[in-house]
Amino acid sequence: MTHGMPHGPEAGERHFDVGQLTRVEGEGSLTLRVRDGAVIEAHLGIFEAPRYFERLVVGRTPDEVIDIVARICGICPVAYQMSAVHAFEALFEVEIDPAIRSLRRLFYCGEWIESHALHIYLLHAPDFLGYPSAIELARDQREVVERALTMKRTGNALVAKLGARPIHPLTVRVGGFSRVPARDELLALQPALHAALLTAQSTVDFVGSLSAPGFEREPKLVALRHPGEYPMNDGRIVSNDGLDIALDAWRDAFAEDQVAWSNALQARTTAGEVYLLGPAARVTLNADRLHPLAAAALTRLGKQALIRRNPYWSIAARAVELVHATAEAIDIIDAYQRPDRAFTPWQPRAGEAGWATEAPRGLLFHHYEIDERGLVASAQIVPPTSQNQAAIEADLTTFAPSVLALPHAEATLRLEQLIRSYDPCISCATHFLDLRIEPADR
Amino acid sequence: MPGTRHASAHRPRVGVVKFASCDGCQLTILDLEDQLLAITEKFDIVEFAEATSNRSQGPFDVLFVEGSISTPEQAHEIVQLRRQATMLVTIGACATAGGIQALRNLADHDAFNRAVYPQPQLIKSLATSTPVSEHVAVDAELYGCPISGSQMLELLTALSIGRRPQLPDEAVCALCKRLGNPCILVATGEPCLGPVTRTGCGALCPSFGRGCYGCFGPKEAANSASLAAWFGTLGQSDEQVAREFAKFNVNAPAFRAVVEAKR
Amino acid sequence: MVSAVEPKTYFLPRQDLAKLLDRLHDGGRQVIGPTIRDGAVMLDPIERVDQLPVGWGIDNAPGKARLVEQHGSRVFDQPPGPSSWKRWTYPPRLTEFAWTDAAETDAAPAPRRPKPVPAKMAPQAFLGVRACEIAALRVQDKVLLEGPVVDRDYAARRRDNLIVAVECAVAGGTCFCTSMGTGPEVRGDFDLALSELDDGFVVRVGTDAGRAALEGLTLPAATSDQTAAAAASVARVRAQMGEPLPMDGLPDRLMAAAESPRWAKIAERCLACTNCTLVCPTCFCTSISQRSDLDGDGASAERTWDSCFTLDFARVAGGNFRTRVEDRYRQWLTHKFGTWWPQFGSSGCVGCGRCIAWCPVGIDVREELLAVAPPVAPAADPPPIAPVAPMPSIVPSALTLPTPTAEGPRPMPWRTVEVLDRRRETRDVITLSLGTDDPGLLAGRPGQFVMAALPAVAAPPISVSRFHPDGLELTIRAAGPATAAIVNLERGDTVALRGPLGRGWPVELAEGRDVMVITGGIGLAPLRPLLDHMLARRDRIAHIHLAYGARTPGDRLYVDELDRLAASGVIDVAQTVDRAGPEWLGRVGVVTQVIDRIMCSCDRTIAFVCGPERMMRATVDVLHERGIPDERIWVTLERHMDCGVGLCGHCQLGRYFVCKDGPVFSLAELGPAFAVEGL
Amino acid sequence: MQNETVNTPDAELRDRLAGTWLTHELDQSARAELARIGRLVRVPAGSILMREGEVNDVMAIVLEGRVSLRMRVPERGQVSIVTIEVGDVVGWSAMVPPYRATSTAVALVDTELAQFDGPQLREAIATNADLAGQLYPVLLQTVARRLEGTRLQLLDLFSQRWVEPW
C-alpha cells in the first residue's frame, strides 16, 4: 500500500519516499523533496481511509457518543471518552462525585502507562537500538522486552478494571460510570503497580542510556495546565510563549486547514504558527506538577532542555510520565473509597459543549452542539496528531539536511525515526476537520 | 496448520494488514502480553506495519485483515492480498460487517463527504464501507469491536496444534448466565442486545451494569425482529430501537434489517 | 444426610435468625442464601442476616422481574430468583480432567495421561430452598447419580449439603408448582424447614444433621397456633396459584404433536438465546471444551453449561440435526415435559417459573404447552407411541433420594493404550490396532464404542471395529480435526480411551435366524465385530447375507477380508458401489436394491443396519416391504456426543440418550422418533 | 464368442422367465405370449447391447450374468451408473417413444438374456389387451425402482463429507 509522490524526482533532486510508515498507528507516508542540499517540500501524507466520525455521531445521545468516539483510536480510546464525557458534563452542569473524578484520573493513568509502554519499547526503542521491531530486540534483550510487556499489561489491567476491557472500555457514561469497583478490587492491582513503578524508573535509566541524533530547535509547545495536578482531565490551555485560555476556547487560538496531500486537516495557531503537543510539551510546561518520584527521575535524567528542544528525546518525557502515572495510580488507589452511586443523574440541555483533555499523544479537543431533544446536532473532534502534522513537517524540513550525507536507507530510517518520535496516531488524525460547510442534508 | 499434529518444521508465515479501522484489533494481538513472545516463536510474523518495519507483500500462510473496504484502492488491494494468502482471517466488526463507518451506507454519501471535508473533491472514498467478505472469499472470521484476545489466542493455538478453534456462536446470554448475572433486560427493562448477539467479549456490559450493544454482531439465527418488537413493548420509540441496532455491526444483515425497518 | 427422623417443630423468634445463621457456619460450612445483587435476588455466599433480602419482594411476569420494596421485616417473601441451587451443586464451569505434560514425566518420555481433577469444596448449607427447588435437586440426583456413570463432582457436592428449606409464603406471578405437584408445601428431603410468620419461624427438623444445627439455640416447641398459622400461610399460596394446569397425559400429547405447526409459530418469537435452559434448575446439558497453551501443553478438558438452543449443540461431522429454531424449541419442551418421564421417571419441570419470568421476550411455557398439546385429545386419535415401558401418570412418584453409595461413584476412567499397528483402508480411512490389558476394554461387545482423547483436541466417539484378546481395533475417517488428529497417530503413539460404552448389537437374537447385515460406507466398521461373533458360532445361525454399499470401489473397507469371506461361501456377500469406472465388474447401484432381491423367508429374518441415516431410512422401507417387523430391524445411530456416558445431554433422540440407551436400537424402540425431521 | 441365439423351445424359455421376479406375477397366457416373441441369447463379456442416444429396438431380461449401464463423462470417460442384475430389464426404452437408449449397456461377464424384439412386442401389446394389462404395471415398477435408486445415488449418501478445514 505505497503512496509516493505522483511524479519521479526531477533532475538534480534527491527523493525520500517511504510508502507506508511502520511502527506508527494508522496509514501514513513520508515524502521529502530535496534540491541542492535544501528541502523544498516535506509532506506527511495521510492516506488512512476517512470514516467521518464527526458525521457518525450526529443524531446520537451523549452516552452513545461516548461509545462511538472510542472507536476513533484503538490505542487511546479512554482519551476520546474523557474529552467527550467532560464536554457533556460541562454543558449539562453535572456535579460529579470526587471519587468519580479520581477514578477518571486513574483511568487516564492506565491508558498513559499502556500507551507509553507500547510506544517506548515496541514502537520507538527499536530505532535507537537498530532493530526492525521489538521481536528482534527480544531475541537479544529478552528481559527488557518482558519487563516492558508486564508494565503494559498492568496499564491494560487498570483500564480493564475500570472499563471492563482495555480497548474500547464500556463503563464511561455522563455523570460517572455504569459500575465502580469495590475498594479491594483496586487494592488487588497494587502489587502489579508497584512492580510497574520500578519498571518505569528503570525505563528512565534505559532511555538515558540511548543516543539520538543531535537535532535541536525551539518549538512553540502547547499543553493543559492545572493549578493543583499534572494535567489530564482539567485545567486551561497554555503555551510556552504566554497563551492561557479556557478549555472550551480552543477555537479562539487555533484553526485547521485542508491540504491536498492528506486526508487529515493540519492545525496551526490563528496567527499561522506551527505548534507541538504531547509528552514533551506537558513535561516542559508542568515539570513543577510532576509526582515527586517523577520529578526526581527527571532531574536524575537531566535532559529537560533536550526534551524541549530535540523531538527524539520525547522518549525521555514518556519515561518520566510513566513514573508519574504509576506513582499517581498507586496514590489514588490507596486513598480510594467506593462512592455510594456509580453516576449522578442528569438532564440534557441544548447548547454548545467544548472540552480538552491530555491524550497520551497530547491535547485532544472536542466540541458538540446539542439540540433540544438532547441529541448531537454537530461535532468537531481535533486530535493531537492532526495538530502536530504541521510541526512534524516543519521539523522534517529543518532536520533533513543533517542526514543527507548518510546513505539513502540510513537517512530514510532517521527521517522515519523522527516521525515516530511524535508517536503519531494517524487513524485519529484522519477524521477531524473544521466544520466549515453546513451539512446539506440536515 | 490444521491437521498437522506435529510442530511443522517451517513456521507459518503470518501477516497483519489494515484497511479502514482504528487499529484496536491489531493492538489486541500486541496486548497478549504473556504469550506475545511465544507467538513470535511459533509463527513467523512477516507483515505487521504497526509492530515491525520488516515488510512483506506475501505469500502468507495466515493473513489477518482488519478494517473495512471503503476506498477504491482498498477494494483493489484486498484482491491482491487474497491471492497471497492461503488462509485469510478477518478480525473485528469493520472487517466482518463494515464497522460503524458503514452508517454511511444507509445515508447519502456526498452529504457525508461535504459535512466533513471543506474540499470534498480531494477525498477519494467509496459510497459504502463494506466487509472484506463482500470482496473476497474469507476462511475464518473473528468478530467483535475489538476482537477478544482469548479468541485470537484460541485461533492461534488451534492453528498451531491442529484442533478446531472453539469459537462458539451462542448468544451473549449463555456466558452471562454462567457468570451468575441476572438478566439486565428482565430485571431493569434496560435494552440489551445480548440475546441476538454472538458471544465473545465475556458478557462484559451486563457484568458492568449496562445492556449489551452488539459489538460481536448478530449470532446465528439472530431473531432481531422479535427483540426489536419487545423493545417497543418496553416503551422505546421506533427511532430509539433503530439506534440500538445501528452501531458497530449496523451493516450486518440481521441488525441492518431492523435499522431499515424502524428508521 | 437425609434420613427418616420423627420431625419435631420448634419456633425461632425473628431476632434469633442470626444465631441460626452462625450455627449454620459451624465447622467451616459455607452458607449460600438469597441476597439482593444487580437488581435481583441472587443466591450467593452470605455471612450476616443484613445481607438477606429483608423487606423485599419480586413482581414476576413473563419477561419481567422487578424488585419491590415492601418495608417489613419479613425475610423470605420472594418467589425464586434467576439463580438456582444448580450453580452450587452442578457448577457452570468445571475442569473434567487435566493431561500430564510431556515435560512432567521426566523418565523415558512416558505417554501423556488424563488424570481426573479431585473435587475439593467446603461443605455447604443452602438457606432458603423452596419446595420446587427440593424437587429440582431430587430430579438432578436421578439424572446425575443413577446413570451408568455417576457424575463424581456432583456426588461429592451433594453428599454434604445441609438443606434449610423455606416454605413459600408468597406465590410469584409465574409460579406453577401446584400444576407440577412439587409444592408449595415442603414435605420432605430437608434437614430443617422454616415457615415464616410475622414474629418468627416455625422450624421443622427433618434429620439428625438438622437437629444438630439447632443445638444450643434452646428453641421453644412451636405452639399449635403457630403451626396452624404456618399451614394457613402455605394454603394461601396454593390458593393464590389458582386452578392447576391440565397436565394429565401431557407426555403422550406432546410427542403426538411432534409435527404441529405451533413449533414454527413459537420460533417467530423465540430468540434461541439459551436463557430458559440456563436458569432452569433441572437442565443438565453441558459441553466439553479443550484448554491448552500454544504447544498443546497444560491441556485440560473443561465442562461448561450448554443448551439445546445453541447451533453447535447438535452438530456432527459435516452436518447438524437441529438447524431450525423450531426444532430446538420442540426439543426443549418435549424433553422437559415429555421424554423426561421415560428417561428418569418424573417430569423434568418443577414449576418454579424461572423460564417464564427470565425469558427476555416473555415466552410463557404454560401458554405454549396448552397451545401445542391442548388438553382435549384431538379428534383423530394420536399415532400410538412406540410400545415401550408404560408412561407413568403425571403424579410425581415418590422419588427416593439415592444416598450416594459408600464405595463412591461408578467412574468410567480413561485408559491409556498404545498404537501397535496402523493400516490404511482408503484415502482418508485408517484402522488402528491398539494394545491394552484393561479387562473392561477387552470385555467390549460388538457395536459398542469408545471415546478416544488426545491432549488439547476434542474426544470423538469411535465404534470398535474388532476385539482381540490383547487389544482392539478402531477404524476412523478423518472427518474433522479431532478425528484427523487420531488418524495421524503412528506406531508407538498413545491415545486415551474411555469405554466400552453404550449398548451393542443383540447378538443372541441372531441365533437360529436368517441374518441380513446391510451397511454403507464406514458403517461396516461397527458391524465387523458382529460378523466376527457370528462367524465364531456359524453353526447356530441360518443364512447370513452381507449387503455392503460404498461410494466408489476405492472407498470400500476391509477389501481383502470381504473377498476371502465371499470366496469361502460361509456367508453370502453382495457389494455394490454408487459409481465406478469401466474396470469395476461388480454391482453398481444403491445397496437397498441389493437386498430387495435377496430371497429370504422373512418370518425368521433379523436385519442389522448401519450407515448414513438417510440410507438406513431407505433400507428400513425395503425391509418393511419384505415383511420384516420393526422388532427385528436394528440400527445404530450417530449423534453429537461429548461425554459418551449419558451425562452431557447432547445425544438425545426423543426419549433416548443415544450413548447409553444406544447407539444400537430396534425400530420398535425408536418408533416415530426415527422419521421426524430435526428431532 | 459371438452373440449366439440359442433356439430354445418356448416351454423352456417360459420356465426360465417364470423364475425371474419380474415376470413372476404374469399368468400362463402372458408368459406364453412372451415366450413366443422372445428368444434366448448368450452374449460374451464386453459386448455392447445398446449405445447411449441410438435407437434401441430390443428389450431384454437378464437371466444369467450382469449388464452395466454406462454414460460417457468427457473428463472421466465411461462411468458405470448402475448394473442390471439377474431378473431385471435392460432396454425399457424399446417400449417408450422415441425408442432411444438412455445409456450404453455393456455385458460385464458372459451373460444370458431373454430378448424381445421391440416392434413385435409393441404390436403384441397393441392387439392383446390382457397382455398389456399385465405387462405395463410390471414394466412401470421396474422403471420406478430404477428411478428411486438413482435418487438415492443422487444424494451421494456415502459421500466423503466435505472435510472441514478444522
Mind listing the domains of chain D with CATH numbers? 4-155 (2.60.120.10)
Does domain C507-636 bear CATH number 3.40.50.80?
Answer: yes
Tell me the one-letter amino acid at A259.
Answer: V
**How many CA atoms lie less than 13 Å away from C528 in the CB half-sphere?**
23
Residue D4, burial from CB neighbour count under 10 angstroms (0-12, 13-18, 19+): exposed
- Cα separation, C458 vs B106, in Å, equals 43
Q: What is the pLDDT of residues D136-162, one digit of tens each?
A: 998 898 899 899 889 888 888 766 555
**What integer pLDDT is reported at residue A44 of this predicted model?**
73
| pLDDT band with cut points at 50, 70 and 90 for residue D22 | low
**What integer pLDDT is reported at residue B241 of this predicted model?**
96
Contact C582 D156 (CB under 8 A): no
Q: Does the pLDDT value for residue A407 go beyond 90?
A: no
B208, B237, B239, B249: best mutation site toward chain A, by most A Cβ within 10 Å? B208
| pLDDT band with cut points at 50, 70 and 90 for residue D112 | very high
Point out the residue among D79, D152, D166 whose CB comes nearest to the CB of C579: D79
- Cα separation, C588 vs C624, in Å, equals 23
Give the CATH class of C404-501: mainly beta
| pLDDT band with cut points at 50, 70 and 90 for residue A411 | confident
**What integer pLDDT is reported at residue D2 of this predicted model?**
56
Q: Does the pLDDT value for residue B21 go beyond 50?
A: yes
Q: What is the pLDDT of residues A214-251, one digit of tens each?
A: 889 999 999 999 999 999 999 999 999 999 999 999 99
Q: What is the pLDDT of residues A50-59, one digit of tens each?
A: 678 888 899 9
Give a three-class secondary structure readout of B34-93.
HHHHHHHHHCEEEEECCCECCCCCCCEEEEEEECEECCHHHHHHHHHHHHHEEEEEEECH
**What integer pLDDT is reported at residue D163 of this predicted model?**
56
Contacts with B163 from chain D: Cβ below 8 Å: 166
Q: Which residues of chain C fall below pLDDT 70?
A: 1-7, 103-110, 120, 318, 377-411, 599-600
**How many CA atoms lie less than 13 Å away from B90 in the CB half-sphere?**
31
pTM of the model: 0.89
What's the grid cell of residue A162? Answer: 475500570
B4, B152, B183, B236: best mutation site toward chain C, by most C Cβ within 10 Å? B183
C588, C596, C600: best mutation site toward chain D, by most D Cβ within 10 Å? C588
Residues spanned by CATH 2.40.30.10 within chain C?
Answer: 404-501
* Chain C residue whose CA is closest to D68: C588
Collapsed DSSP state (helix, strand, coil) of residue C514: strand
Residues spanned by CATH 3.40.50.80 within chain C?
Answer: 507-636
Q: What is the pLDDT of residues A23-44, one digit of tens each?
A: 767 677 777 777 777 777 777 7
Name the residue with higher pLDDT: A321 or A417: A321
Among the listed residues B22, B8, B260, B50, the one whose alpha carbon sits nearest the alpha carbon of residue B144: B22
**What integer pLDDT is reported at residue C384 of this predicted model?**
43
Contact B165 D165 (CB under 8 A): no
Q: Does the pLDDT value for residue D67 go beyond 60?
A: yes
What are phi and psi for residue C127, nearest 5 degrees?
-105, 120
Give a three-class secondary structure readout of C139-162.
HHHHHHHCCCCCCHHHHHHHHCEE
Neighbours of chain A (3+ CB pairs under 8 A): B
Domains of chain B in start order, with CATH, are: 13-161 (3.40.50.700), 172-262 (no CATH)
Convert A28-64 to b/e letters by CB count within 10 Å (16 or more is b): bbbbbbbeeeebeebbbbbbbbbbbbbbbbbbbbbbb
Contact B165 D166 (CB under 8 A): yes
High-pLDDT (> 90) share of chain A, %: 60
- Cα separation, C536 vs C525, in Å, equals 18
Contacts with C457 from chain B: Cβ below 8 Å: 161-163
Residue A69, burial from CB neighbour count under 10 angstroms (0-12, 13-18, 19+): buried
User: By mean pLDDT, which of A316-320, B35-39, C191-195, C329-333 is the weakest?
Assistant: B35-39
What's the grid cell of residue B7? Answer: 510442530
Q: What is the pLDDT of residues D90-108, one digit of tens each?
A: 999 999 999 999 999 999 9
Sequence length of chain C is 679
Looking at the complex, report in whole angstroms how far the Cα of residue A170 sits from the nearest Cα belonging to chain B.
7
